[in-house]
Amino acid sequence: MSVSKTALLFAGQGAQFVGMGKDLSASFPSAATWFEKANLALGYDLRTVCFDGPETELTRTEHAQPGIFLVSWVAFQLLKEGAPGVQFHAAAGLSLGEFTALAASGTFDFETGLKIVRQRGLFMQQACEQTLGAMAAIIGLDESETVAVCRETGIDLANLNCPGQLVISGTKEGVARACELAKLRGAKRALPLAVAGAYHSRLMEGARAKLETLLADTDVRSPSVPVFSNVTASPHTTPTDIRARLTRQVTAPVRWEDSIRALIAEGFTRFIELGPGTALSGFTKRIDKNVQALNIGDVPSLQATLETLARS
């Protein structure tokens, strides 16, 4: 029987869809209980927003962030229930998902994490409404060329997801100019993203400052396993360090590819994505096709992953 070093990956914003978590809640009483706890903790009906939308409400940052956190947390709990013998040795999450990874590792409890991401979502929604921001995916242009394009157009590099896929962020005019320039420099595609504003850019400074104040008053503990920071692509250490990196993350680029490569370099061969969608599994396989990438986001994927784990 082979033993794989397992890392958990937690979904980020953009993975949300109307109906997420609904079949898990209907099939597992423990899952339904977490949705009830979330509604009580937040004081509004997040469960119905996740299950029934409408999509315009779910995609609002203030609902999408706690909604994805909640569905990802439920997936994590069902993994533990269904495969109690499987241990995880590290965790990471894309942007918002980093908070879920930290909660799963004991840095703060479920209710605290849920409330933080709800507030973070509100802060970012407010920043979006106060600035005219946009984002775009740049396909097939390397990092140094993309950084040069950002510098020339006054915008920022937001995500380094996987080989050949970077995301830029900034003013609408700056992003539009950068897309044209990137194509002239050899990008295969430059695709505007359907987002509310310029995440992971200087336009989120207002949200960064508010989150810094919120985290200063939050009880934060060292994680039970290494949790890789989006900002540094290295594990968090002290509670002070965690607060600082989570604050910086709002305006800094997400170094996802570097995080996965660092985990692989430390011997991780199995990655389990928790939450709606399969974006992180896709990125991981693009980074290294030889690793095992599993996911849990609904009943079929839960069953498939538990069956795979039972055979390993």
* pLDDT confidence of residue 199: 97
* pLDDT confidence of residue 43: 98
* pLDDT confidence of residue 195: 87
Domain co-membership, 28 together with 161: no
Domain co-membership, 74 together with 163: no
Exposure letters 244-258 (e unless 16+ CB within 10 A, then b): bbbbbbbbbbbbbbb
Token digits for 299? 């009943």
Amino acid at 32: A
CATH code of the domain containing 152: 3.30.70.250
> Which residue, of 192, 215, 242, is where some domain finishes?
192
Domain co-membership, 295 together with 232: yes
Q: How far apart are alpha carbons 242 and 247 in whole angstroms?
A: 8
For residue range 147-205, list pLDDT tens digits in order.
999 999 999 999 999 999 999 999 999 999 999 999 999 999 999 998 889 999 999 99
Domain co-membership, 103 together with 244: yes
Q: How far apart are alpha carbons 298 and 27 in whole angstroms?
A: 10
H helices present in the chain, as ranges = 22-27, 29-42, 46-52, 55-58, 61-82, 96-104, 110-130, 143-153, 172-184, 205-216, 239-249, 256-265, 279-287, 299-311
* pLDDT confidence of residue 186: 97
Token digits for 297? 């986001």
Domain co-membership, 257 together with 221: yes
Q: How far apart are alpha carbons 254 and 250 in whole angstroms?
A: 9
Token digits for 62? 């203030």
Domain co-membership, 172 together with 35: no
Domain co-membership, 232 together with 104: yes
Contacts of 32 (CB under 8 A, 6+ apart): 25, 26
Domain co-membership, 27 together with 122: yes
Annotated active-site residue 95? The verdict is yes
Nearest to 96 by CA among 259, 292, 261, 275: 275
For residue range 248-303, list pLDDT tens digits in order.
999 999 999 999 999 999 999 999 999 999 999 999 999 999 999 999 999 999 99
Token digits for 269? 């061969």
- Asked if 101 and 224 count as a contact pair (C-beta separation under 8 A), the reply is no
> Which residue, of 173, 192, 211, is where some domain finishes?
192
**Does 3 have pLDDT greater than 80?**
no
Residue 45: inside a domain: yes
For residue range 40-89, list pLDDT tens digits in order.
999 999 999 999 999 999 999 999 999 999 999 999 999 999 999 999 99
- Asked if 254 and 94 count as a contact pair (C-beta separation under 8 A), the reply is yes
Domain co-membership, 104 together with 209: yes
**Does 227 have pLDDT greater than 80?**
yes
> Which residue, of 192, 222, 241, is where some domain finishes?
192
- Asked if 230 and 255 count as a contact pair (C-beta separation under 8 A), the reply is yes
pLDDT band at 1 (very low <50, low <70, confident <90, very high): very low
- Give the largest CA-CA distance in the chain: 56
For residue range 190-199, list pLDDT tens digits in order.
999 988 899 9
Domain co-membership, 106 together with 182: no
Active-site residue, selected from the candidate residues 105, 200, 236, 301: 200
Instruction: Read off the pLDDT of each residue in 136-140 and give the average, rounded to a whole number.
Output: 97
- Asked if 8 and 272 count as a contact pair (C-beta separation under 8 A), the reply is yes
Active-site residue, selected from the candidate residues 25, 63, 72, 95: 95
The overall average pLDDT reported for the chain is 97
Domain co-membership, 32 together with 112: yes
Range of the domain at 136: 132-192
Q: Burial, 80: exposed, middle or buried (Cβ in 10 Å; 0-12, 13-18, 19+)?
A: middle
Residue 197: inside a domain: no
The total domain count for the chain is: 2
Domain co-membership, 186 together with 300: no
pTM (predicted TM-score): 0.96
Q: How far apart are alpha carbons 298 and 130 in whole angstroms?
A: 36
Strand partners of residue 92: 9
- Asked if 261 and 278 count as a contact pair (C-beta separation under 8 A), the reply is no
